[in-house]
Structure 1
Amino acid sequence: MSFSPLEQLFIDNLIGVDPNQKKLRYSQKLAQQQNHRPMLDIERKAMEARQSDANAKSMFLDFTQAHLHDEVAQEMLQRLSSIEVISSSLFDLGPGFPALLDALSAKAVTLNQLDPLISGIDWLTEDILRLINSPRYRSKIGSANLVKDVKTALRFLGIESLQSLVPVYAFRRCIPHSTEPFVQFKTKIWDYSLATAIAAKKIAEEQGHNAFVAFCAALFQTLGHMVVIRNYLRSYKQVKLNEQMRAQDARDVELIDALEILDADAGFLSSGIEEFAAIISADLVSRWQLKRMPLAGILDQLADGTAYQSGMDLTRILLQANCFVQVKFLLNDNKLAMEDAVRYLEQVEIHTALRKVLSQTDLRKLQFE
């Protein structure tokens, strides 16, 4: 898929793309055609012959970075063509997680029905017990004793809280531990994903649609972003290491110095997210084989680039939530003019009344917190 101008601006800002620098881009055609080869000395000499001494070093750095990313494009294509590699790029939520999501979407679900489903997911049990034994909840419970039984913890939380907690805890587990050199990515993707989920839930409530499904669709739409950044960083690290070893063998001091300076490229990562992220999110969620929730259909439409007017009701809600949050974040960072913001909001029918409702909604934290 290709991003709209708003989405492209938002992702570039999310990652930290410098608008004043030439942007390296992922090219699938190049990735399919590129053959691995060492940098040719003749290419370097031809380039340096056209440059003054003052520009030669900078030009050589650009050349080296571009060459690295020719190789990275091929490595990423191989990685992201494998659903096994994609799945292993995220925390394993366990085979019981999809059934729990389905159960939470049912209108008549009870805590007795949820207890065995939650108890069968070790990481979720740990997170829930950690929450219920935190000072904030201990004061509400009115007991000095730690809660050790998840069934007791569920009774204190209630179903409505669990409908927010379960997907949010799952998403949080999937955030990479390290995204260096893009150190702000972890925080920003969390803030954005939570904000869109809360906004989508609010819009669904206003329009009379399933708020839990809207919340989950908005939250899990960025799973692919995390898969892409992890595999890009792994690919770049491996390709760079291979080139460093070749340079060491050739005793190429200039190339060794250049490789030492270079780091992963924000523009290339942005275009990789544009190329792969939405499709990966849809594929991952489809593998959950949910029986009650139409998450796969919503994310398929998002990956296909379905126009707002042509989408299902819940797809349109997701597009509205995305637009509102992207506009809000860009305005806060002074990266978007107000007249452009209004135009983008109007395109997805976020008119004055809905804009007011969303503006009065706290998009930074869950309501029960």
Structure 2
Amino acid sequence: MTIESALTPTIDDRFENMIIAPERVLEMLGRQPTGAVRYEHSEQGDARRELLHVEKIAIENRRLQEKTEATYMGMISHQFHDILLSEMTECLGHTSELFASILNIPDNIGELFDALAVRACSVSKLEPIVATMPWLYEDLITLVNTPRFRRKDARGRIIVVDSLRTALSFLGIENLRLLIPNVVLKRAIPQVTDPYPQIKQRLNAYATGVSLTARHIAQENGLNKYEAYTLGLLSNLGRCAVIRLYFKLFDKIQIQLLKDCQKNKEQKRHEALVKLVPSANHIIALEQEFADSVSADVLDKMQLQRLQIAQPMRTCATNAPAQESTLSKVLHQSRAYTQIRMLHQLNFVELPEVKPLFREQKFPSGSLENLKHTDIFTLPLTKN
């Protein structure tokens, strides 16, 4: 292996950093953001070089000071994240609390997914379950009244839908099988993630891409497309839980430690804690450590009877070998394909890097060519 190839970030590393902040991938690849001006090539750089001989000593002193401060900040960050890891591990062990307080998922969501899974699914069977979830009811009412789905009466007047039964009927069962799991996932996606505001958009795109890719591959393998689609979406609940919990615990621990510093008059530590911001590296590490096992725990908690996706998720979480033409294998393939598509959109991956990964995943014959012409980031809803 050459030094250059050894230093090239893996596709997985690029993807995980892209979810947090795409500019991190640019740095990893040694590129600059579009429109950026290299300092040493600018007029300011020329002027600065003329002053270097005057400021050399001052710059060196400042560098040493910054190095000392960075070392201290690193120590504070390490101590801080040790506390955070301990608390997160404790929280992730309580799946029932994750359901209610972190992911905002109602206890009877499994009943709803099971109802959607049966061939004989009907509006009359869905209505009483959806009625127990006001947030879902409101989202469906809002959607059915958009231009895409609204209807007109015999006189050409727009029909305003305000009842749940009518909304479900107008949308149709096939659309609801796509919509409802998507709405549940969106409800779980973290919303406030400063200083990484793009997480929610990237995570939503990834979840949608994985689910629609899984649906497509499942059809080609003769597997249940609704199970594959729903597994693709809900496999991201672990990511959502870890990221939500990280930011919640970060704020809580920072506030508590700042209070302790004030009480103990630790000014230097207080100043360092004020400067501390959420760490992308720690978020990524925590996701890689916990996300899939949390997803498996959450699916187990749903106690699904008809929708057979809990075991495939557990297989992925334990890194057990996935057999060909199984939902576990479809999930692996869908994740790999969606990651490549998202990286390719931002020119973060080259074709020679992609081919070995695709060969390793052993996609069904012709599926890659078909997927190339498929929009995997937009739900294929139809007017009923």
Question: Which bin holds the TM-score, normalised by the shorter protein?
Answer: 0.7 to 0.9
Q: What's the offset of the Cα at 1:200?
A: 0.6
The letter of the residue matching 1:344 is: L
Matched, 1:94 2:99: no
Q: Which moved more, 1:338-347 or 1:174-183?
A: 174-183
Other-structure match for 1:154: 168
Q: What's the offset of the Cα at 1:217?
A: 0.1
Other-structure match for 1:347: 360
C-alpha distance 79-120 of structure 1, shift in aligned 2 (>3 A)? closer
Which of 325, 350, 355 lines up with 2:338 in the alignment?
A: 325
Q: What's the offset of the Cα at 1:52?
A: 4.2
Identity of aligned residues (%): 26
Q: What's the offset of the Cα at 1:174?
A: 1.5
Q: What's the offset of the Cα at 1:187?
A: 0.8
Q: Contact 1:105–1:212 at 8 Å: present in 2 too? A: yes
Which of 341, 349, 374 lines up with 1:336 in the alignment?
A: 349
The letter of the residue matching 1:201 is: R
Name the CA distance, whole Å, in 1 between partners of 2:309 and 2:165. Answer: 28
Q: What's the offset of the Cα at 1:148?
A: 2.0
Which of 46, 50, 74 lines up with 1:62 in the alignment?
A: 74
Q: Contact 2:221–2:364 at 8 Å: present in 1 too? A: no
The letter of the residue matching 2:21 is: G
Q: What's the offset of the Cα at 1:326?
A: 0.7
CA offsets 1:143-200 (integer angstroms, 9 cap, x no match): 4342122222222221111111111111111122312222111111101001111111
Other-structure match for 1:106: 118
Q: Contact 2:207–2:232 at 8 Å: present in 1 too? A: yes
Q: What's the offset of the Cα at 1:139?
A: 4.6
Other-structure match for 1:307: 321
C-alpha distance 262-106 of structure 1, shift in aligned 2 (>3 A)? same
Corresponding residue SS for 2:366: helix
Aligned pairs (5 A) from 1:124-135 = 124-135=136-147
Other-structure match for 2:297: 283
Name the CA distance, whole Å, in 2 between partners of 1:256 and 1:92. Answer: 34
Other-structure match for 1:11: 16
Q: Contact 2:127–2:164 at 8 Å: present in 1 too? A: yes
Q: What's the offset of the Cα at 1:120?
A: 3.7
Give unpaired runs (5+ residues) of structure 1.
22-50
C-alpha distance 140-174 of structure 1, shift in aligned 2 (>3 A)? farther
Q: Which moved more, 1:220-229 or 1:331-340?
A: 331-340
Q: What's the offset of the Cα at 1:346?
A: 1.1
Other-structure match for 1:243: 257
C-alpha distance 358-248 of structure 1, shift in aligned 2 (>3 A)? same
Matched, 1:166 2:171: no
Name the CA distance, whole Å, in 2 between partners of 1:112 and 1:238. Answer: 44
Name the CA distance, whole Å, in 1 between partners of 2:133 and 2:261. Answer: 48
Other-structure match for 2:38: none
Name the CA distance, whole Å, in 2 between partners of 1:210 and 1:132. Answer: 27
Matched, 1:206 2:220: yes
Name the CA distance, whole Å, in 2 between partners of 1:290 and 1:54. Answer: 55
Aligned pairs (5 A) from 1:13-32 = 13-16=18-21, 18=24
The letter of the residue matching 1:221 is: S
Q: Contact 1:89–1:227 at 8 Å: present in 2 too? A: no
Superposition TM-score, scaled by structure 2 size: 0.81
CA offsets 1:279-310 (integer angstroms, 9 cap, x no match): 111111111111111111111011011234x3
Corresponding residue SS for 2:162: coil
Q: Contact 2:182–2:233 at 8 Å: present in 1 too? A: yes
Q: Contact 1:282–1:296 at 8 Å: present in 2 too? A: yes
Give unpaired runs (5+ residues) of structure 2.
1-9, 29-62
Give aligned pairs, total.
336
The letter of the residue matching 1:316 is: K
Other-structure match for 1:26: none
- Determine which structure has greater relative contact order: mean sequence separation of CA pairs < 8 Å that are 6+ residues apart, divided by chain length: 1
Q: What's the offset of the Cα at 1:203?
A: 0.9
CA offsets 1:74-130 (integer angstroms, 9 cap, x no match): 121222222233223434433432222112111232333333333343222222111
The letter of the residue matching 2:142 is: R
Corresponding residue SS for 1:237: helix
